[in-house]
Amino acid sequence: MGMTAVEKVLARASGKASVRPGEVLYPVPDFIMIHDGVVMGAKHELDALGIDRLAAPDKVIIVTDHDVIYGSARAAERGDFNRKAARQWGVQNFFDVGRGGHGHIFPMETGMLLPGMFYFDNDRHATNAGAIGAFGFRVGAEISRVLATGTNWVMVPKSIRLKVSGNLKPGVHARDVGLHLATRIANGSLKIDLDYRVLEFAGEIGQFDLAARTALCSSPTEMRAYGVFFPPSEEIIALATARAHRPFTPVYPDADAGYEADLMLEVGTLEPQIALPGGVERAVNLSEVAGTAVSHAFIGSCGSSMYGDLVLAASVLSGRRIYPGVRLFIAPGSERSTRRMIDDGIMKIFIEAGAVLLPAGCGPCNDAVIGPVHSGEASISTAANNNTGRFGARDAKLYLGSPATVAASAIAGKITDPRSVAASQDVLRLAREAA
Amino acid sequence: MSEFDWVLKGRCYRLGDDVPHAGGVIPNRYIIARQFDPAELIPHLFEETDPGFHQRCRPGDIIVTGRNFGMGPKMNGYIAMRALGLGLVCDSMPFLAYRAAIGEGLRVLTDCPAVTEICESGDELEVDFRNGLFVNRTRGVSREYPAMPEALMDIVAVGGNSGWLKGWWQQRQNA
């Protein structure tokens, strides 16, 4: 039997001809990522053991995305600690405040993360790597062992193949697909358990560019998938080649690979979705909750902060202002996108609409270190999830939708179908060229 | 590693399906407080469902659970189980729970379908974690379940991740 895509990635990284689900490996990563919130814990743990040097400091990437502008004195202290840690460890790839951006976005945009690669990450949204055809493996606090020894154990996960059929209608977005997919899994109409599985997309996926694929990595992760994988299209290979820092070998599943389940997902009839407060798996058609008043809106997070997402939101906001009493936060995925927004006139649209630009990173989605909701408020966002208390008061109502839905809702002050707002075609053209 | 006891002989402590880590295994307040001290955690193991469990259990006893045991990537309960010398055999557990148990050096078998159907609390069990052999002496039944992966045994034998890392570093210093 052949191998799935992620099995091939793991086999290559482990120097093996083939691997099977359940096998325990010690793969050698192409790089190791750790974010600003956990450097301190890992450093203290290693220091206590007397471990004062890393196995491969040249492979380590420290990103600053969880608490970028130091919403507290404690965060400023942590930032100072992180800078010292990077120096002591000899980590050159330290992306400090205002450098780089979101660790699960900018490496794809800058050619650090390339098709076929394997890497270790402390954070579970490493699953985004599948958008470009790579595999990032979350080890949580066990990142300390990876830092010290260069590897850690990986049990080869089972893969589930999901064949997409149909094409999205205009105005329907990959995030809508993700919310719908999560809901279908939760209500049992798709009979799969994503716990520690890799969700490998197949079928009519040519319609999804890198931003859309990234968006589609989000909801499965909330449903406990450990990996998502898209076989890279020609466009994505071309994009990766243009940005690559080094040679890479894309990976594709074998025709006779073994999947735990093989499912179909029809997307051609899908309507824009809204996840009701409490979880990504609580999605309904937007029409069911249209008109619900909102006062907090946010576009960003690991699922929706690629340049294409930002431009899509701008196409809806172009020439309009957000509703009185609504605050709209935009957190780009990368400093690169922030700069591009200036060059392309997108920044002007956001500012003139009355939105607030946040530094590249996680925005409110990380524990409300910035831009939280208040008790009793309703929010609409593209956050990774809307679990109770995700970004602020536990009794706030957190709704999720696509970037276009959030933009349309911010303009109207209530949940609004983006198809009812004429988008700027000039701006949308930028989105198509943006990939 | 040779002195490590991979075979546990003790009594069965049977639990059902979907026992969450927070509340089901250990009160959530110890998880939130990031309490990792075994002495502090032991009195509270299964406290919300079975107060005094820690006084009645004996080293070698085996917790046998249904599906989806220990939901959540937290390790506090496993710290207490290991310190009490207990083993864990589950019909299934979410991967992060399994990884957390291994990381704390717990002897654990998972993917043992219908294991709760062949034992009751109090039965005399013998479980070999090296090969997955599960024997219920009281009922005279046995099953062969998936063994603990060999590659993870060196972590469990030294008490989990921190013990492993400590040993690795010492070995490197001495080399």
Judged by CB atoms closer than 8 Å, whether chains meet at B152 and A144 is answered as no
Query: What's the pLDDT score for residue A366?
Result: 87
Reported in sequence order, the residue ranges of A56-133 that DSSP labels E, i.e. its strands, are: 60-63, 93-95, 118-121
How far apart CA A237 and CA A235 sit, in angstroms, is 5
Summary mean pLDDT of chain B: 95
Per-residue pLDDT, averaged over A21-30, amounts to: 97
A73 reaches B (C-beta below 8 A): no
From chain A, pick out residues whose CB is under 8 angstroms from the CB of B99.
140, 142
Residue type, A256: D
Of the pLDDT bands very low, low, confident and very high (cuts 50, 70, 90), residue B175 is confident
A47 reaches B (C-beta below 8 A): no
**H/E element, A305:** none
Handedness of CA B85, B87, B93, B94 (dihedral sign): positive
Query: What's the pLDDT score for residue A368?
Result: 82
Per-residue pLDDT, averaged over A252-267, amounts to: 97
Best CA proximity match to A401, nearest among A220, A275, A223: A275
How far apart CA B104 and CA B25 sit, in angstroms, is 15
Contact B137, B123 (CB under 8 A): yes
Can you give the pTM of this predicted structure?
Answer: 0.95
By percentage, how much of chain A surpasses pLDDT 90?
A: 96
The β-bridge relationship of strands A327-330 and A356-357 is: parallel
Count of CB atoms situated within 10 Å of the CB of A215: 30
Of the pLDDT bands very low, low, confident and very high (cuts 50, 70, 90), residue B1 is very low
pLDDT at A162 over 50: yes
Nearest to A24 among B103, B149, B168 (CB): B149
- Taking the CA atoms of residue A395, residue A397, residue A403 and residue A407 in that order, the dihedral angle to the nearest 10 degrees is -110
Determine which of A159-163, A178-182, A422-426, B137-141 has the lowest per-residue pLDDT on average. A422-426
Per-residue pLDDT, averaged over B118-137, amounts to: 98
How far apart CA A138 and CA A221 sit, in angstroms, is 11
Nearest to A145 among B149, B152, B161 (CB): B161
A314 CB-near residues (< 8 Å, 6+ apart): A341, A346, A349, A350, A407, A424, A427
Chain B positions touching chain A (beta carbons under 8 Å): 73, 94-96, 99, 103, 146, 149-152, 155, 161-162, 164-166, 168-169
Nearest CA in chain A to B102: A153
Q: Please write the tens of the pLDDT for every residue from A295-335.
A: 999 999 999 999 999 999 999 999 999 999 999 999 999 99
Query: What's the pLDDT score for residue A435?
Result: 54
A17 reaches B (C-beta below 8 A): no
Q: Please write the tens of the pLDDT for every residue from B84-107.
A: 999 999 999 999 999 999 999 999
From chain B, pick out residues whose CB is under 8 angstroms from the CB of A41.
none
pLDDT at A152 over 80: yes
From chain B, pick out residues whose CB is under 8 angstroms from the CB of A155.
95, 149
Of the pLDDT bands very low, low, confident and very high (cuts 50, 70, 90), residue A428 is confident
How far apart CA B115 and CA B133 sit, in angstroms, is 12
Q: How far is CA A30 from CA A56, A245, A289, in A?
A: 10, 12, 45
Report the residue of A124, A146, A195, A198 to disrupt the B interface, i.e. the one with the largest count of B CBs within 10 Å: A195
From chain B, pick out residues whose CB is under 8 angstroms from the CB of A140.
73, 96, 99
Per-residue pLDDT, averaged over A237-265, amounts to: 96
Query: What's the pLDDT score for residue B72?
Result: 79
Please tell me the distance in Å from B49's CA to the nearest CA on chain A: 26
Q: Please write the tens of the pLDDT for every residue from B56-84.
A: 999 999 999 999 999 977 899 999 999 99
From chain B, pick out residues whose CB is under 8 angstroms from the CB of A54.
none
Contact A125, A143 (CB under 8 A): no
Judged by CB atoms closer than 8 Å, whether chains meet at A196 and B94 is answered as yes
Q: Please write the tens of the pLDDT for every residue from A5-19.
A: 999 999 999 999 999
Query: What's the pLDDT score for residue B34?
Result: 85
Best CA proximity match to A178, nearest among A168, A188, B17, A170: A168
**For A168-233, where are the alpha helices, taking DSSP H only?**
174-186, 210-222
A136 CB-near residues (< 8 Å, 6+ apart): A33, A104, A113, A118, A119, A120, A121, A126, A127, A128, A129, A227
pLDDT at A388 over 90: yes
Nearest to B94 among A22, A24, A195 (CB): A195
DSSP codes joined into one string, A223-266:
TT-SEEE-PPPHHHHHHHHHH-SS--------TTB--SEEEEEE
**H/E element, A35:** strand A31-35
Nearest to A224 among B94, B99, B161 (CB): B94
Half-sphere exposure of A72 (CA within 13 A, CB side): 10
Q: Please write the tens of the pLDDT for every residue from A334-371.
A: 999 999 999 999 999 999 999 999 999 999 998 888 99
Count of CB atoms situated within 10 Å of the CB of A391: 28
Of the pLDDT bands very low, low, confident and very high (cuts 50, 70, 90), residue A431 is low
What strand order describes the sheet that includes A356-357? A283-285, A273-275, A397-400, A378-381, A296-299, A327-330, A356-357
